[in-house]
Amino acid sequence: MQEKKQTAMNRRNFLRAFGGASTTAVAAVTLSPGEAQAYDPGEEETRARYRETEHVKAFYRVNGYETLKK
């Protein structure tokens, strides 16, 4: 039997080359040091939102949460 030389890129070789290239690209991006950016949530996201209003108290009372208080 004669062995066929693969001159054209078949699907398996294409996927192997593509996988290697993508892994290298991800590693290059991951390993490159960059300056970290801090997230500033702003005043709108850090303000208190929970208020124990009358309808919240009624919800707790109806669902039996008051019995859990000690």
pLDDT digits (tens, 9 = 90+) for 3-15: 666 566 687 777 7
| DSSP code, position 2 | P
Of all helices (H) and strands (E), which one includes residue 19?
Answer: helix 11-31
Mean pLDDT of 55-63: 89
The two structure tokens encoding residue 41: 């949530």
Does the pLDDT at position 70 exceed 60? Answer: no
Question: Could you tell me the residue ranges of all domains in the chain?
Answer: 11-67
